[in-house]
Amino acid sequence: MGKIIAVTNQKGGVGKTTSSINIAASLAATKRSVLLVDLDPQGNATSGCGLEKDEIEHHILDVLLQEQNIKDCLVNAEQAGFHILPTNSDLAVAEAHLLSVENKEKRLKSALDEVKDDFDYIFIDCPPSLSILTVNALVAADSVMIPMQCEFYALEGLKALLQTIDQIKEYANPNLYIEGLLRTMYDPRNRLAVEVSNQLHEHFGDKVYRTAIPRNVRLAEAPSYGLPALMYDRLSRGAKAYLSLAGEMIRRQEELDAVTA
């Protein structure tokens, strides 16, 4: 049975979509079967995998409105190395539609339950806001990965996100937990970044991934070519960092499985 991880942060510009694409590609490179769910109306994860958003016949909105079976909407993003449930700007209308339907916060969970056994990992790239879409992701997920920059307002935004997660646990998904905190665009030469990083370690301990994602030009360039960094320049610092993160995630999961066996 696959593990569903929501990649989310209510603050935009923290490398959420970049992380979703690149960790999916890195895990796929280790022979894991991976599905990436693009739940952000901007559709950047879809285009970042080399798909033309406006040419997609069926996408996640059809799934959420239960007009199409999820298996008919999955696309094999071959050049990225994994499958994707794509989206486009039509998803922006989903919130208004979903607010008037039954079990609106469980639509994504119901769909992913049908394909969970087909993948080792399912990542949900969430929008940078607390909307019914994000709530759907948190209800469907087993755990949450939080990408964040080590900057002044990071901890304040993190506090709000943790409160949201606690609320979801209370009324809809009691087993939801923090998969890990991922430091993105990290520059160890920046004193503030180091200070915030130290605070994260102090408050969250080993929930903070040892791997930090550096600022890297190749990571920024890769989406314009519709490729993960691993396929665009596998020797770049960014690609190597996400491969390291994939290894760290696999080791963590093996340790968790050993404890719960």
What is the C-alpha to C-alpha distance for residues 39 and 133, in angstroms, rounded to an integer?
A: 7
Residue 153 has pLDDT above 80, yes or no: no
DSSP SS3 for 96: helix
In this predicted structure, which of 73-82, 152-161, 251-260 has the lowest mean pLDDT?
152-161
Can you tell me the distance from the alpha carbon of 92 to that of 218, in angstroms, rounded to the nearest whole number?
A: 30
64 within 8 A of 158, measured Cβ to Cβ? no
Closest-CA residue to 76 (of 128, 24, 116, 125):
24
- Does 94 score more than 90 pLDDT? no
Q: Are 140 and 109 in contact (CB under 8 A)?
A: yes
Q: What DSSP letter does each residue of 109-152 carry, written as one string?
A: HHHHHTTGGG-SEEEEE--SS-SHHHHHHHHH-SEEEEEEE-ST
Whether 248 shows a pLDDT value over 90: the answer reads yes
Task: Place 7 in a pLDDT band, splitting at 50, 70 and 90.
Answer: very high
Q: Give pLDDT, residue 216.
A: 92
Q: How confident is the model at residue 107 (pLDDT cuts 50, 70, 90)?
A: very high
Q: Where are the domains of the chain?
A: 3-260
**Do 27 and 120 contact (CB within 8 A), yes or no?**
yes
Q: Do residues 53 and 47 touch, judged by C-beta distance below 8 A?
A: yes
Query: What end-to-end distance do the CA atoms of the chain give, in Å?
Result: 15
Percent of the chain surpassing pLDDT 90: 73
Position 102 pLDDT exceeds 90: no
Q: Which of 255, 256, 234, 254 is nearest to 244 (CA)?
A: 234
Judged against a pLDDT cut of 80, whether residue 158 lies above it is answered with: yes
Higher pLDDT, 116 or 159: 116
Q: Is the pLDDT of residue 121 over 80?
A: yes
Is there a contact between 22 and 229 (Cβ–Cβ < 8 Å)? Answer: yes
- What would the mean pLDDT of 112-131 be, rounded to a whole number? 94
pLDDT digits (tens, 9 = 90+) for 173-198: 999 999 999 999 999 899 999 999 99
- Beta strands across the sheet bearing 82-85: 75-77, 82-85, 34-38, 121-125, 3-7, 143-149, 177-184
Q: What is the pLDDT of residue 10?
A: 83
Least confident of 79-83, 99-103, 211-215: 99-103
- CATH superfamily of the 3-260 domain: P-loop containing nucleotide triphosphate hydrolases (3.40.50.300)
R_g of the chain, CA atoms, integer Å:
17
Residue 55 pLDDT class (50, 70, 90 cuts): confident
Max Cα-Cα span within the chain: 51
Q: What does the pLDDT read at residue 212?
A: 96
Question: Residue 242's pLDDT is what?
Answer: 97
Q: Which amino acid is at 167?
A: Q
CA pair distance 53, 245, nearest whole angstrom: 28
Cβ 241 vs Cβ 26: under 8 Å: no
- Judge whether residue 261 has pLDDT over 80: no
The more confident residue out of 56 and 236 is 236
Backbone angles phi, psi at 20, to 5 degrees: -60, -50
What is the structure's pLDDT at 95? 74
Contacts of 119 (CB under 8 A, 6+ apart): 2, 33, 34, 35, 83
Confidence of residue 116 (pLDDT cuts 50, 70, 90): very high
